C-alpha cells in the first residue's frame, strides 16, 4: 500500500482494516495475536504509519480522513507505530512520542477528571494535559529497527498484558493493556497526518507535504488469545 507525493493541503492515506463499516461497540477483537512481515519505503516518511489495533477514537480521522462518523472516544490502542517529528502522540511526560515505537493506551469510557480537564483546556493546556494523563494510561518504548528491511513483527494482546516481538525476539512488554471491555479493530496504514499534544501544552494537527511512500506487508496472521 502507498501514498503519492503531495502538498500539505490534502490528506493522503492507504489503509487496511476490519472495522471501518462497523459501529465501535461491534469492533471484532477483545484480545488478539497479530503477526506479519513488513517493510517501509523510508525511515523518514512524513506523517504516521504502523499496524496494530485501536478503537478509532477520533471518529473522523482528526477531521481529514473519510471514515464513517463515530462520536469521539478516549483512546484504546496497541500497535507498532511510527511517527514523524511533527507528531507527539503521548499524554505522559517522559514517554517517547516520535520515531518507531511499541505503544499502548488504556482508557475508560468516561472519567470524572475529564470535566475539569475540559474546563482547564482553554486557559492552561499544560494543566489539562496533566489531568488527561491521570485518565489515559499509556506505555511505550522506542525501537531500534531498520524498518526499510523485512522483519517479522508480532503483537500479543491479552486482557492484562501486551508483548511486542521483532524477528521472534521480545522487544517490549507492558502491563498497560487496552480496556478489554471495549473491542478494537485491526488497522494497517500509512498517511501524511500529524497530531501533537506536547508537555508544554502545544496542540497541533494537520497534514504534511511528502514524497511517494509505501508500506509493504505479507504473511499476516490473526489468532485469538
| Domain regions of the chain by residue span | 2-223
Stretch 30-34: mean pLDDT, rounded?
Answer: 96
Rounded to whole angstroms, how far apart are CA atoms 34 and 92? Answer: 26
Mean pLDDT of 117-128: 69
Mean of the pLDDT values across residues 187-207? 92
Distance of CA 171 to the CA centre of its chain: 18
pTM above 0.85, yes or no: yes
Per-residue model confidence (pLDDT) at position 69: 62
Q: E-strand spans in the chain?
A: 2-3, 13-17, 32-40, 48-54, 77-83, 99-106, 137-142, 151-158, 161-166, 169-174, 185-191, 193-197, 203-207, 213-223
Report the mean per-residue pLDDT for the chain.
89
CATH classification (class only), 2-223: mainly beta
Identify the band that residue 63 occupies on the pLDDT scale cut at 50, 70 and 90.
Answer: very low
Amino acid at each position: 500500500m502507498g501514498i503519492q507525493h503531495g502538498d500539505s493541503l490534502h490528506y493522503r492515506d492507504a489503509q487496511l482494516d476490519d472495522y471501518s463499516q462497523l459501529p465501535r461497540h461491534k469492533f471484532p477483537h477483545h484480545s488478539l495475536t497479530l503477526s506479519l512481515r513488513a517493510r517501509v519505503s523510508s525511515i523518514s516518511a512524513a506523517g504516521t504509519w504502523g499496524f496494530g489495533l485501536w478503537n478509532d477514537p477520533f471518529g473522523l480521522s482528526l477531521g481529514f480522513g473519510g471514515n464513517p462518523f463515530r462520536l469521539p472516544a478516549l483512546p484504546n490502542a496497541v500497535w507498532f507505530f511510527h511517527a514523524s517529528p511533527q507528531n507527539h502522540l503521548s499524554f505522559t511526560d517522559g514517554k517517547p512520542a516520535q520515531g518507531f515505537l511499541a505503544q499502548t493506551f488504556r482508557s475508560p469510557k468516561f472519567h470524572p477528571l475529564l470535566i475539569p480537564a475540559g474546563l482547564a483546556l482553554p486557559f492552561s493546556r499544560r494543566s489539562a494535559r496533566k489531568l488527561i494523563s491521570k485518565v489515559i494510561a499509556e506505555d511505550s518504548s522506542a525501537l531500534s529497527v531498520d524498518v526499510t528491511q523485512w522483519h517479522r513483527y508480532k503483537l500479543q494482546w491479552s486482557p492484562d498484558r501486551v508483548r511486542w516481538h521483532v524477528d521472534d525476539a521480545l522487544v517490549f512488554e507492558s502491563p498497560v493493556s487496552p480496556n478489554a471491555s471495549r473491542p478494537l479493530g485491526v488497522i494497517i496504514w500509512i498517511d501524511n497526518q500529524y497530531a501533537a499534544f506536547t508537555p508544554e501544552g502545544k496542540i497541533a494537527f494537520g497534514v504534511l507535504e511528502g514524497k511517494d511512500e509505501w508500506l509493504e506487508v505479507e504473511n499476516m496472521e490473526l489468532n485469538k488469545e
